[in-house]
Structures are given as C-alpha cells and as structure tokens.
Homo-oligomer: A and B are copies of this chain.
Amino acid sequence: MKVAKFGGTSVASGGQIEKLTEIMQSDPSRRIVVVSAPGKRTDDDVKVTDMLIALGEKRIKNQSTNDALVHVIERYRSICAELGIEEKVMADIEADLEARVAFNTEDEGVFMDQMKAAGEDNNAKLIAAHLNQSGFDARYMNPFDAGLYVDGEAGNAQVQSEAYEELAKLKDEDKILVFPGFFGYKRDGQLVTFPRGGSDITGAIVAAGVNAELYENFTDVDSVCVANPKVVDNPEEITHMTYREMRELSYAGFTVFHDVALVPAFRHGIPVSVKNTNNPEGEGTLITADRSKGNSYPITGIAADKGFSIVYVRKYLMNREVGFGRRLLEMVEEEGISFEHSPSGIDDISVILRTSELSLDSENRLLTRIQTELDVDDTYIEHGFSMIMVVGEGMDETVGLAARATDAIAKAGINIEMINQGSSEVSLSFAVKERVTDEVIKAIYNEFYTKTTQ
C-alpha cells in the first residue's frame, strides 16, 4: 500500500481536490491520504492556517472573533460549493470551528494548537466526504483514534514509539482513510501540533507505521531540481536521490521539505516520492536509502544557504595543546551556540556557525573568553558568509570532483573562504562571501551540467 500526502496548494480549492481524487482513482494501492489545511490558491491568497492563527489571537486578546471566524468558514464553504458537498458536512465544520473558538484559553499554547489544527482536521473531513461522493469507500480518520500518540509542549509534538504499533493496525482497514496532517494527541487526549513541516511529518509517521511500499508527497513542483530555479535557468531535475543526499541538500536551502520531516520514513526505510498534484504523470523525484550508481551527472545537487559567521582563533603552537579545540567548542556550547564546522590548521582553528545563533552579547562574551581563557594570539569574528553544498553519493571516491568545483569557482574570480571535503561521503562544502552566492551556484552548475565533457 501507498500513503499519499497532499500539501496546502494541492488541497487549496475544489479544483485541486478533484485532482487529488483523480490521483487516488488512478492507483488503487493508494490507501491512506494525509492532507494539509487549504493553502494559497494564488500568490496573494491567505492560508487557512494563518487565518486560524489570526482568529485564535483575537480570542486570546478578548477581541471580537466574528469577522475572522466568518472568514475561515467562508473559505471552507467555497470549497464545498465548488465540489457540491452535502450541506451536513459544512454544518459540521462550522460547528467544529465555533466550538474551538469557545475553548478554554487558560493555557494559550494548548488553545492555539487546537485552533491551528482545525485547518487540517476539517479539510480531512471535507475531503473524505468528497471521496465518498466520488464513489470511494472513504472515511475521515482521527489521529487520536488512529493512535498517533505524541509528547512535548504545544507546537513541538514528538511522536511516541508506540504510535507506530498503533498505526500499523490501519493496514487492515477496508476503507480509504483520510488523515489530517500536522498534529497528534497525548494519551490524555490533549492535541499537540508538530513543528515546521507538520503535515509532512504526519505523512512520514503514518507511512512508517503501516510500512508503506511508498510514501508519496504531492506538492506543486514537478520534482526537486539540481539547483534553485531562481538562480539557475531551467535546472535539471533530480529523478532519484538518496536520503543522505536529500538531507545534505535540505540543510542548505532546499525548501521542498523541512529535512527533519522525513526522518520517520527514512528511519523505517520507506521510499519517498515527490510528485506534482498538477502533473501526476511526471516522473517526480524518488528518494530511497540507496540508488544505483551511474547517474548521467557526477553530482546530484547544489544548494546554498546564507547567514553564516566565522570565529577565527590563532595561537602559536596551538596543536601542541591537548584539549585546545575541545575547550574552544565548550565555550561555544556554553553560550548555547550550535556550531556547524570547526576546521583547524596547525596554529589556527575556526568555528563556523549560523549568525542567527549569535547575539551581540554572546559574541562579545565568546571572544573575551577565548582571548582570556585560551590565551590566544588573535581572535575575531566575521559575518556574511554563505555555505555552498555540492552533493552526490560516492563523491568522496570520485577523483577530481573537488578540483572541478574549486576550479569553476576560481575561474569565476571568486575566493573560497573555506573548503570542507572529506568529512562527509556525500558532500563537499565551501564557505564564500554572501554576495557571490548565486555566482558560485551558477559556476558549479555550469561546470557539471552544461559542459559536454565530464
């Protein structure tokens, strides 16, 4: 069986939901649908989840909620009207939303979680109704009834391992199940939403629970591209990549998924397919644990992320001080800063971190501590770097890949601040000044994808 998850734009309107229905019809092995809340129909549209947040905040501030509530109801009503869904369904959705707004607000986190979850929950009911009326034997599946048990505070649900055992029972269901994404329940019945990428998380958990042959992630792009289409014109598409490649790429700005969202699928070895609701016949991108070698290109993708800072430390005879690097990283950790890399030379060590991890205070404290406690010759920090990731399985064993990438960057007249190769088997990363980020991506892309020779 397959689990198919549909993102916000794929369930944003009646028209989109009809595409979902066609997709379900075209492959009977699709037995579970996980749905998001209605997303944007056009670029300037508002997502239902954002409407619900606005509505919930009015309630917390004791402002009038009437208009905001009508706004949400109207959105569902327009979808129901488009699909000709029976009035009873809309009446249920309306009653559900009114009940949620009236909920106890004492714990604001708990209150907001159940408000936000209304988007997916009601959309699942609506879609189940539409599937039934389209000839399917479908039913809405409540995450609590399904045993999607979680722990953690509001907005940060963590799946419990017993949830997988509970969800495994869904394999025996005769009906098509329509499952709302984005939230689970504590054992005591409290609803908790997942962090970023919430519906993707639900999909991955359910797919893992039922041990699906495939987890299909329907979104609004044909596939994952080799490089950001906003930077490179008509980039090649990635037809097949590994979990590890996906993870390295998503680290550095690939926004199709939040990288953690797919972890439940990866951990259980479930293949993931990224497909386009608007072009379901397209090949899409398949993500598996391994892939056969022999891609036509030696690399799989190029990604970049801005907003990095580098702390430089220099001390004569540093490499003779056992524990120097460890003590430096300890200071970084004691400031609550998570670091990305720490390349070191003989008398030099750098710490590369996301600038967002720093504050002016923590930066000053850190430099002062390094200077005084490690008695260094020099230490300073520089901001405004990008990390560029060049990703591909087997890169570490391919002679000359690093040379081609560095050469391409050099030919573009760009200085590389740091090269990190050899720590990862699947990637090569560079630090460059932020302002040259796009140029570097283009240079690497052209080297590997537009040259005729390899």
Contacts and interface: CB of A to CB of B under 8 A. Distances in A.
Contact of A419 (B247, B320, B348, B421): B421
Interface stretch (A28-36, A201-209, A220-228, A331-339): A331-339
A402 B397 contact: no
Interface string A417-452: 111111111110101000000000000000000000
Contacts of A330: 326
Given A329-B326, A403-B407, A410-B399, A343 B346 contact: no
Chain copies in the assembled complex: 2
A413 to B, nearest CB: 6
Contacts of A277: none
Contact of A345 (B344, B349, B397, B427): B427
Given A319-B251, A347-B247, A403-B403, A431 B422 contact: yes
Contact of A325 (B267, B336, B339, B419): B339
A342 interface: yes
Interface in A369-415: 396-400, 402-404, 406-407, 409-411, 413-415
A360 interface: no
A263 interface: yes
B406 A402 contact: yes
Main secondary structure of the interface of A (DSSP, over half): mixed
Nearest to A339: B325
A16 interface: no
A341 B244 CA distance: 24
B424 A316 contact: no
A266 interface: yes
A122 interface: no
Interface in A228-243: none
A169 to B, nearest CB: 27
Contacts of A260: 317, 320
Contacts of A46: none
A113 interface: no
Nearest to A328: B326
Contact of A316 (B266, B316, B402, B414): B266
Contacts of A316: 247, 263, 266-267
Contacts of A419: 402, 419-422
Given A326-B329, A410-B399, A419-B419, A342 B344 contact: yes
Contacts of A422: 343, 350, 416-419, 431
A248 interface: yes
Contact of A341 (B248, B338, B344): B344
Q: Interface centre among A319, A336, A350, by most B CB within 10 Å? A: A319
B329 A322 contact: no
A189 interface: no
A290 to B, nearest CB: 15
Given A402-B419, A403-B403, A410-B403, A344 B340 contact: yes
A446 to B, nearest CB: 15
Given A330-B326, A399-B413, A419-B419, A424 B247 contact: no
Given A325-B342, A403-B406, 18 more contacts: A247-B316, A248-B345, A248-B347, A260-B320, A322-B333, A326-B329, A326-B333, A342-B342, A345-B420, A350-B423, A396-B415, A398-B415, A402-B406, A403-B409, A418-B421, A419-B419, A419-B420, A419-B422
6 contacts: A343-B343, A344-B423, A399-B413, A402-B416, A403-B406, A416-B422
Interface of A: 244, 247-248, 251, 260, 263, 266-267, 316-317, 319-320, 322-323, 325-326, 329-330, 332-333, 336, 338-350, 396-400, 402-404, 406-407, 409-411, 413-427, 429, 431
